[in-house]
Amino acid sequence: MNFTPSRKNVALEELKKPSYDHDLQLYREIPDININLDEFEEWAIERLKVLQILEQLSLKGNTSNYEDFTKSVVQEIKKEGLKHMHKLINGGIYKDYNENCDARKRDLCSHFILRLIYCKSDELRKWFINREIELFKLRWTLLSKSDKLKFLSSNNTNYSAVSEEEHQIMVDSMGSLATAGNNNEYFKVRWTQVLDLVRNRKVYLCDGFAYVIQTDVISGVCQTFRSELSQELVKCFQKFSIISEDERFGAFIKYLHQSYMGKNYSVTENMSTLSINTIDHSSKSFPLCMKRLHVVLRSEHHLKHQARQQYGLFLKGAGLPLEQALVLWRSEFTKKMDADKFDKQYSYNIRHNYGKEGKKVNYTPYSCMKIIMGAVGLDEYHGCPYKHTNSQALKQLLETSNISTQSIQEILNLSQNGHYQIACTKYFEAHNGVSPSCTAINHPNQFFEESQKLKGFIEESNINVVDEV
């Protein structure tokens, strides 16, 4: 991919090559396409949103009925306004050829951009591979039979058609198990490419070939895709340090995986009102990370810097005015120090967060991802309890929240498996008795606002989309 500094019309002749003539790809060739930096960022964010939708819906347990799961994903992608991926997933064809090519171009480029972003660690590579496999499976499921055959042929997948003679051998060997379909419904491939099907005895084996029914072909293709993508991500990481030095997009590819793309919870945008008189009662609607900080502040009358930043900006986003924020922090801290010390060492930082000091930036509260990716030392209470707290301490914390034993165990399991935001969403459901209106919790203030809405305290407010990188 080559980058141009400003937006302009880009010819789509490159996409008329045979390697780009299908909606579904194995992404074996880096596209030689000119795109500008706005497109670079926009397309990466679009694809990341799709992958996050897949993760959130799959972790919520919606995959038992794959047809319903597919419909849920497609609906959510449409709801988010991701029209190009919605088109590709649905297998629709634009009447205008250039529009069709443009959707494929965005798909190809966005995949390779996210490779740059998710190649940096084993954890990120694993997440990206699993999400891309999920996306690939879903898109395969929605392809027509003719498009599936075209894909297998154009990608040299080593699947070949089964002749009538070979099908007859299958019938003679398997009897009624093979007579249900004709030879056009089977493909043969080397058995080493479909090890999971062999393991589960879902194929007929003969002379080193596995005879695979059309609906199971995806297993072997995904195995190939997973292996190739894993190798390419390692290669990408070897070049990452050089690529990330490019001042045009270096910061973007370093930090996109931590970014939040949702409502701006700055106090000027928030319609809620939080005061020092209602904060203790309102803390019942706080997410676990903020509820813990509130309890520690009330009991210890002090929080370290990172905890003050995390909790202070959350309260700001929840609607606590600057004047009352100063009263709150002063009333607690002066139980262990004199007022003069507080004014000299702590009040400046509070005013700074509200945009009244220094560069006078109106700072936004921390998103879940920013909290999750942060570092937490010993005897510190900030961070994400689902990530930064051991299982026993997290269990004790959850037991104080008046939720069922079953819910506690489900949350612990999600936390132990690295699904921190889904664990938070499960806590919301257990605590409030219903699911949030969103697919998953992505921001502590989102948790608070959703919980308060259920209690009838906050009216619906306008949504503003920002990127926090």
Residue ranges of the binding site = 289, 368, 384, 424
CA dist 169 and 253 (Å) reads: 54
Tell me the residue type at 110.
S
**Taking the C-alpha atoms of 97, 102, 104 and 108 in order, what is their torsion angle to the nearest 10 degrees?**
150
d(CA 134, CA 127): 11
> How many whole angstroms separate alpha carbon 201 and alpha carbon 115?
34
C-alpha 185/C-alpha 215 separation (Å) is 9
Within 10 Å of residue 212's Cβ, how many Cβ atoms? 25
Binding residues for [4Fe-4S] cluster: 289, 368, 384, 424
**CA–CA separation, 240 vs 250, rounded Å?**
10
Is there a contact between 458 and 272 (Cβ–Cβ < 8 Å)? Answer: yes
Could you give the angle at which helices 444-454 and 305-317 cross, rounded to 10 degrees? Answer: 40
Task: Give 304's contacts (C-beta < 8 A, 6+ positions apart).
Answer: 380, 381, 382
Strand, helix or coil for residue 6? coil
d(C-alpha 2, C-alpha 239), whole Å: 17
Identify any residues that bridge with 3 across adjacent strands, giving them in sequence order.
35
Q: Which of 47, 40, 30, 43 is nearest to 6 (CA)?
A: 40
Q: Is 81 left (phi over 0), alpha (psi -120 to 50) or beta?
A: left
Task: Give residue for tokens 């165990």.
Answer: 409
Residue 206 pairs in a beta bridge with 209
Helices of type H across 269-338: 279-282, 288-300, 305-317, 322-333
